[in-house]
Amino acid sequence: MATEQQIKIRRADEQDLAAVLAIEQVSFNTAWTHDFFKHELYNPISNFYVVEKNHQILGYVIFWLIADEMHIANLAIHPQFRQVGLGSKLLNFVLDMGRQKQIKTITLEVNEKNLPARALYEKMQFRVVGRRVKYYENRDDALLLMRYL
Ligand SMILES: CC(C)(COP(=O)(O)OP(=O)(O)OC[C@H]1O[C@@H](n2cnc3c(N)ncnc32)[C@H](O)[C@@H]1OP(=O)(O)O)[C@@H](O)C(=O)NCCC(=O)NCCS
DSSP string, 99-124: HHTT--EEEEEEETT-HHHHHHHHHT
Low-confidence ranges of the chain (pLDDT < 50): 2
Which domains are delineated in the chain?
4-148 (3.40.630.30)
Model pTM greater than 0.85? yes
Q: pLDDT for 103-118, tens place per residue?
A: 999 999 999 999 999 9
Of 52, 121, 136, 148, the catalytic one is 121
As for ligand 1, residues whose beta carbon falls within 6 Å of it are 27, 75-77, 82-88, 108, 110, 114-117, 119-120, 123
- Whole-Å CA distances, 114 to 21, 56, 63, 133: 20, 26, 19, 15
User: What residue type is assigned to position 141 of the chain?
Assistant: D
- 52 has which bridge partners? 8, 57
State which of 9, 58, 77 you would mutate to test the pocket of ligand 1, scoring each by most atoms of that ligand within 8 A of its C-beta: 77
Question: What pLDDT is stored for residue 41 in this prediction?
Answer: 97
- Would you state the pLDDT for residue 68? 95
